[in-house]
Amino acid sequence: MTARTQPRRRGLLLAAPALAVVGFAAAALLLAARGSLADGLGRGWGLSAYADLLRDPALDGSLPLSLEIAALSTAVSAAAALAVVGAVSGSRRGRAALDAAARATLAVPHLLAAAAFGLLLSGAGLLSRLARAAGWTDGPADFPALVGGPGHTAVLLTYVWKEAPFVTVMLLAAYTPAVRDLETAARTLGAGRLSRLRHVTLPLLAPALTEACLLVFAFTFAAYEIPALLGATAPRALPVEAVGLYRSVELGDRPGALALAVVIGLVIALAATAAAVVSRRLLRARTGL
């Protein structure tokens, strides 16, 4: 084995788990695409399932709702992560404590986070009882409908609580000593906090931030647990609609559920591709390579 092929084989071995995950996902998407083109018994070919989705009034608000939840969750998570990373950027202990707290939050399953926020924000939850004890409300009926309400407040809060730590870990990993040295140099030259953030920190962290945001968008667009437990019954997010159709006793609903799965999978694939392309271009623009 030559010295040239050895690093190449090592790189392939390191990439094998990621390639396996991508392969399984691609195979699942192809199977879903085949099922969406068949009838309820898996026979024939056609686009009737996609045409039925376009005519289904129950799905008119599902796609905008999923896009809204994903976009708001991503934007608020990114802003919160930038704020906390910027606040502790000058302290080594602060960065270590923030990294530990973010990783501990990441370890909490989304299903458990949804249950916890449901117990906290529901009409009979902890906040509602505290508001009644303080005399601010007369009972659960006076408490705002945060769980299952039209604003999907509980869904957004849960996603921000779970995804902001992920963006934080990504930013802390990109916050290298070189970035801190450049910030120190800018501070020495008289640049203020906002000026350093705009002209030094953000350009250097842009590849990691962009990649993290696109990944968070793809995940929150396709996740099922939190919208199913905390979201309103109508309209429902696309993953909730897809699972509902798939569980239907009518076999004719199965192709529609698989068609929704294909749509969700394509959006995730586009977001992942965009994350890779944009991150690479920003990295090239920063390094000049």
What is the dihedral sign for C-alpha 190, 194, 197, 202? negative
Q: Which two tokens stand for residue 198?
A: 């705009």
Tell me the residue type at 162.
Answer: K
Find the angle CA(209)-CA(212)-CA(216) to the nearest 5 degrees. Answer: 135
Q: pTM to 2 decimals?
A: 0.82
Q: Rounded distance, CA 161 to CA 73, Å?
A: 9
Whether omega before 227 lies within 30 degrees of 0, making that bond cis, reads: no
Domain borders along the chain are: 45-287
Cα gap 74→217, rounded to integer Å: 6
Q: Is 15 helix (H, G, I), strand (E, B) or coil?
A: helix
- 51 contacts 259 by C-beta, under 8 angstroms: no
Based on its alpha-carbon atoms, the radius of gyration of the chain, rounded to whole angstroms, reads: 23
- CB of 164 within 8 A of CB of 110? no
CA distance 114 to 248: 24
Gap between the Cα atoms of 261 and 271, Å rounded: 15
pLDDT in tens for each of the 289 residues of the chain? Answer: 455 556 667 766 766 776 777 777 777 777 777 777 776 556 667 777 777 777 776 677 788 888 899 999 999 999 999 888 877 776 778 888 888 998 999 888 988 999 999 888 887 888 888 888 887 877 777 778 888 777 788 999 999 999 999 999 988 888 877 777 777 787 777 777 777 777 777 778 888 888 888 889 988 998 888 998 888 877 888 888 888 887 877 777 778 788 888 888 888 888 778 777 776 776 666 555 5
User: Is the separation of the CB atoms in 224 and 202 below 8 Å?
Assistant: no
CA distances (Å), 286 to each of 13, 167, 242, in order?
29, 20, 41
Written out in words, the top-level CATH class of the domain with range 45-287 is mainly alpha
Q: What are phi and psi of 39, to 5 degrees?
A: -90, -170
CA distance 141 to 128: 9
- What pLDDT is attached to residue 3? 52
Q: List C-alpha distances in Å: 173 to 5, 25, 208.
A: 30, 27, 8
* Helix/strand number for the chain, H first, E second: 13, 0
In whole angstroms, give the CA distance from residue 85 to residue 99: 9
C-alpha triplet 255, 256, 258: angle, nearest 5°: 65
